[in-house]
Amino acid sequence: MSAVGELMLDVRDLTVRYTRGRKVVSALQDVSVTVGVGETLGVVGESGSGKSTLGRAIVGLAPVHSGTITFAGEDITHAGERRRRDLSKNLQVIFQDPYSSLNPTRTIGQTLAETLRVHGKLSAAEVSGRVASMLERVGLSADAAQRYPGRFSGGQRQRIAIARALMAQPRLVICDEPVSALDLSVQAQVVNLLRDLQTELGLSYLFIAHDLDIVRHLSDRIAVVYRGRIVEQGPADSVYDSPETDYTRALLDAVPIPDPVRQRERREARRARRQGSQSARCAPTVTEMETP
């Protein structure tokens, strides 16, 4: 992780709206975030908060109603399909589900090589070499290229998804809940891998997740999203150690801990805070945030 310097990504006053029947729904409202070169911005919020919509809008998969998205100094808010294809060399995504994000009918080698065929003219030997090198870089053997996704575990598939995202040597990677579908032990391995690759390759990350504890370990700064708006933003340690809103505190309380006594005490303290709060503007109301 590195300090903020030159901006890789600059999102200003972004509003995303969807039409559902006769109703217009704002998924994001006036959201502004930045990601510096070599920096990680963590974007955290509960399911439905709008955090994944932010990532989708940046890569052109969600309709931008207003605001601007600037990547590496270029306004890409309304970039067309051809420009988006060119941008994918420098702007890649790691999706949440390692099971559905890989084509089961193609070998891992075929999947990884596809990016190179789109963005460069390399010989078959050069492509094979790059595929083998990237697989080894993410902790898999080179012979994994000959196998199909069904032969791999969830953690291994997510490593493959990371390798695919990095094949074109991008500058910014949108990590959309990349560890939420994995076991806790595998989550730690993937987070450590992402951190090591960032240091090695000088990557910038927009890391989207609902778990504030995971986000803290990878991020330089954190933006907290609630109902389509940013309610808190700042250095990762400050947001984690001294949250400013009830909503951020509730996200922290929702992180499970292995000690049942401490978990019960924390749950009771959360109830007391809610009962004594004079302002419910940012107070969470969803049951999904309750922990056992």
Q: For residue 257, give Cα distances in angstroms to 18, 149, 211.
A: 37, 33, 12
**Domain architecture of the chain: domains with CATH:** 7-90+169-244 (3.40.50.300), 103-167 (no CATH)
Distance, CA of 92 to CA of 104 (rounded, Å): 21
pLDDT score of 258: 58
pTM of the entire predicted model:
0.83
Q: At what angle do helices 260-276 and 246-253 cross, to 10 degrees?
A: 160
Conformation bin of residue 73: beta by default, left when phi > 0, alpha when psi is -120 to 50: left
Helix (H) or strand (E) holding 115: helix 108-119
pLDDT score of 184: 79
Distance, CA of 92 to CA of 87 (rounded, Å): 9
Distance, CA of 90 to CA of 77 (rounded, Å): 16
The separation between CA 112 and the C-alpha centre of its own chain, rounded to angstroms, equals 20
Distance, CA of 77 to CA of 68 (rounded, Å): 5
Q: What is the pLDDT tens value at each position of the chain, 292 positions in all? A: 444 458 999 999 999 999 888 898 899 999 999 999 999 999 999 999 999 999 999 999 999 999 999 999 999 999 999 999 899 989 999 988 878 888 999 999 999 998 787 766 788 898 999 999 999 989 899 999 999 999 999 889 999 999 999 998 899 999 999 888 788 788 888 888 999 999 999 999 999 998 888 898 899 999 999 999 999 999 999 999 999 999 999 888 877 665 566 656 666 665 665 566 545 445 444 333 333 3
pLDDT score of 96: 84
